[in-house]
């Protein structure tokens, strides 16, 4: 790998320091889904353009990724894309339906279905390389987080054919057709790894692996059927020399395992008190975990809760402030602006 020319100040950013477990000038803050429907400027540039179409256009990716950085002054940008974009890029027939989520035309059920999915190469995603390059140039000392969907969560969309509460078909394959499951998980892990490699090679400073729906699993099933595949992705990402964040929802009883899978920082959703999360991840950082609905509370109530989370975060090896899941589309951006300013001004000394 060639040595990247790093922007001055980047390595000293509060976000990267916290991710490495070093002392920080202030608690760094960014928001999952900070780019998106809660921003009027997002709705404007997306007018008449489909979600996946915008994820395949380097200029739109660049603009949408920068919007929340301009508006809030957050400590990190997250690359604008989607966990299913790499599947679309290799030719899987899928779309993202507004208000629904990813929908796959021909759900994966057999070994042949898995084998038909090509592996991802950088040639599949030239717009990603281009957009990351543009962004790193624009962002200066603000780190860019690259991301991918973890094998279980992406498998759920592929097997169910769309969003699912129970993940019943996915788990039926996991329990009933181990050879198909193994092949599918290996396929997705390879695609996720290649997707992260493209982003880091182009200049992303950190990566987040989203296993949003892993909370549907017992620790034993996670350990046996899922963790080895997420571990493969995180270990490969580790060789790229950037911090790795690993996040899921409803994962209270999986946090230790999600850390052991190879994360430097474990994302904690809002249902788990941050102190409990810190105890479970041991010698790693944590990210989180304000309930995303608290932005609808009076500002003083929201900020009081944020203060409690920052205080709890002091016990962690490193704490990156975030919501406990993504920004809700009806969120008032002014509340996120106040929250950002509050976190960044909160005295740690
Ligand atoms: O965080 C960011 O600002 C970066 C952008 C981002 C998107 N999707 C953009 C998006 C990220 C990190 C994701 C990841 C993602 N996508 C996850 C993991 C994170 C999580 O929320 O748990 C998952 C499970 C998906 C799958 C997916 N894509 C869902 C559930 C949806 C929402 C469906 C809806 O319309 O309510 C999408 C679509 C999507 N991805 C939107 C955005 C901004 C909304 C589409 C639009 O604006 O038209």
Determine, yes or no, domain membership for 48.
Answer: yes
Answer for the pair 143, 15: CB distance below 8 angstroms, yes or no: yes
Answer yes or no: is the C-beta of 83 below 6 A from any ligand 1 atom. Answer: yes
Segment 46-55 mean pLDDT:
97
Segment 297-317 mean pLDDT:
98
Residue nearest to atom 21 of ligand 1 (CA): 326
pLDDT of 5 higher than 80: no
pLDDT digits (tens, 9 = 90+) for 128-151: 999 999 999 999 999 999 999 999
* Selected catalytic residue, list 71, 72, 75, 82: 82
Segment 279-298 mean pLDDT:
97
Answer for the pair 307, 346: CB distance below 8 angstroms, yes or no: yes
Answer yes or no: is the C-beta of 212 below 6 A from any ligand 1 atom. Answer: yes
Active site residue 276: no
Give the tokens for residue 141: 């000392």
Pairing, β 144-149 against β 101-104: unpaired
Answer for the pair 321, 270: CB distance below 8 angstroms, yes or no: no
pLDDT digits (tens, 9 = 90+) for 207-265: 999 999 999 999 999 999 999 999 999 999 999 999 999 999 999 999 999 999 999 99
Task: Measure 136 CA to ligand 1 centroid, in angstroms.
Answer: 22
User: Where is pLDDT greater, at 123 or 6?
Assistant: 123
Determine, yes or no, domain membership for 3.
Answer: no
Determine, yes or no, domain membership for 309.
Answer: yes
The tally of domains found in the chain comes to: 1
Answer yes or no: is the C-beta of 80 below 6 A from any ligand 1 atom. Answer: yes
pLDDT confidence tier of residue 8, bands split at 50, 70 and 90? confident
Secondary structure letter of residue 6 according to DSSP = P
Determine, yes or no, domain membership for 9.
Answer: no
pLDDT of 4 higher than 80: no
248 annotated ligand-binding residue: no
Active site residue 280: no
Task: Measure 282 CA to ligand 1 centroid, in angstroms.
Answer: 29
Q: What is the domain range of residue 189?
A: 14-345
* Separation between Cα atoms, residue 282 and residue 14, nearest integer Å: 21
Reduced to 3 DSSP states, what percent helix, strand and coil does the chain have, rounded to the nearest 5? 50, 10, 40
* Separation between Cα atoms, residue 247 and residue 211, nearest integer Å: 6
Determine, yes or no, domain membership for 4.
Answer: no
Give the tokens for residue 73: 């002054």
Active site residue 127: no
pLDDT of 333 higher than 90: yes
pLDDT of 2 higher than 90: no
Q: Give kind and range of the element (H or E) at residue 148.
A: strand 144-149
Q: Terminus-to-terminus CA distance in the chain, angstroms?
A: 39
Answer yes or no: is the C-beta of 146 below 6 A from any ligand 1 atom. Answer: no
82 annotated ligand-binding residue: yes
pLDDT digits (tens, 9 = 90+) for 139-188: 999 999 999 999 999 999 999 999 999 999 999 999 999 999 999 999 99
Task: Measure 61 CA to ligand 1 centroid, in angstroms.
Answer: 14
Answer yes or no: is the C-beta of 33 below 6 A from any ligand 1 atom. Answer: yes
Residue whose tokens read 């999360």: 277
pLDDT of 345 higher than 60: yes
Q: Give kind and range of the element (H or E) at residue 334.
A: helix 333-345
Determine, yes or no, domain membership for 8.
Answer: no
Q: What is the interface pTM, i.e. ipTM, of the complex? A: 0.93
Secondary structure letter of residue 84 according to DSSP = T
Answer yes or no: is the C-beta of 36 below 6 A from any ligand 1 atom. Answer: yes
Determine, yes or no, domain membership for 258.
Answer: yes
Segment 12-32 mean pLDDT:
97
Atom of ligand 1 nearest to the CA of 35: 3
* Separation between Cα atoms, residue 85 and residue 89, nearest integer Å: 6
Segment 27-38 mean pLDDT:
97
pLDDT of 282 higher than 80: yes
Residue whose tokens read 């996946």: 52
Task: Measure 83 CA to ligand 1 centroid, in angstroms.
Answer: 8
Give the SS3 label for residue 77.
strand
Task: Measure 325 CA to ligand 1 centroid, in angstroms.
Answer: 11
Answer yes or no: is the C-beta of 99 below 6 A from any ligand 1 atom. Answer: yes
Residue whose tokens read 């509340």: 335
Determine, yes or no, domain membership for 7.
Answer: no
Give the SS3 label for residue 31.
coil
Residue whose tokens read 């489909």: 50
pLDDT confidence tier of residue 1, bands split at 50, 70 and 90? very low
Residue whose tokens read 């979600």: 51
Alpha carbon dihedral 349, 145, 153, 214, in 10-degree steps, equals: -10
* Separation between Cα atoms, residue 100 and residue 102, nearest integer Å: 7
pLDDT of 3 higher than 80: no
Q: Which of 72, 96, 103 to mutate to test the pocket of ligand 1 (most atoms within 8 A of CB)?
A: 96
pLDDT confidence tier of residue 7, bands split at 50, 70 and 90? confident
**CATH code of the domain covering residue 305:** 3.20.20.210
Answer left, alpha or beta for residue 204, where phi above 0 means left and psi between -120 and 50 means alpha: beta
């Amino acid at each position: 790998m060639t040595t990247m020319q790093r922007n001055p100040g980047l390595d000293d950013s509060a976000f990267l320091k916290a991710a490495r477990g070093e002392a920080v000038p202030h608690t760094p803050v960014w928001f999952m889904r900070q780019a998106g429907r809660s921003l009027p400027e997002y709705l404007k540039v997306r007018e008449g353009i489909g979600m996946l179409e915008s994820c395949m256009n380097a200029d739109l990716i660049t603009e949408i990724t920068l919007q929340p950085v301009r508006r809030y002054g957050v400590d990190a940008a997250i690359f604008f894309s989607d966990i299913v974009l790499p599947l679309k890029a290799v030719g899987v027939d899928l779309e993202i339906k507004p208000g629904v989520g990813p929908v796959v035309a021909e759900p994966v059920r057999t070994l042949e279905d898995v084998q038909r999915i090509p592996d991802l190469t950088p040639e599949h995603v030239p717009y990603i390389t281009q957009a990351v390059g543009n962004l790193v140039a624009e962002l200066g000392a603000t780190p860019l987080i690259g991301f991918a969907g973890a094998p279980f969560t992406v498998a759920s969309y592929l097997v169910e054919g769309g969003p699912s509460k129970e993940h019943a078909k996915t788990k039926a394959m996991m329990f009933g057709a181990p050879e198909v499951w193994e092949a599918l998980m290996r396929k997705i892990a390879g695609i996720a790894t290649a997707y992260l490699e493209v982003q880091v090679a182009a200049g992303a400073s950190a990566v987040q692996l989203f296993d949003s729906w892993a909370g549907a699993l017992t620790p034993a099933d996670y350990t046996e059927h899922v963790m080895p595949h997420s571990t493969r992705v995180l270990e490969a990402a580790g060789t790229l020399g950037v911090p790795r964040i690993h996040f899921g929802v409803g994962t209270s009883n999986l946090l230790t395992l999600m850390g052991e899978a190879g994360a430097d920082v474990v994302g904690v959703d809002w249902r788990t008190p941050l102190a409990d999360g810190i105890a479970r991840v041991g010698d790693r950082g944590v990210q989180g975990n304000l309930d995303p609905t608290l932005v609808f509370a009076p500002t003083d109530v929201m900020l009081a809760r944020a203060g409690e989370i920052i205080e709890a975060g002091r016990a962690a090896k490193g704490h990156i402030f975030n919501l406990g899941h993504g920004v809700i589309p009806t969120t008032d951006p002014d509340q996120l602006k106040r929250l950002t300013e509050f976190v960044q001004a909160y005295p740690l000394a």
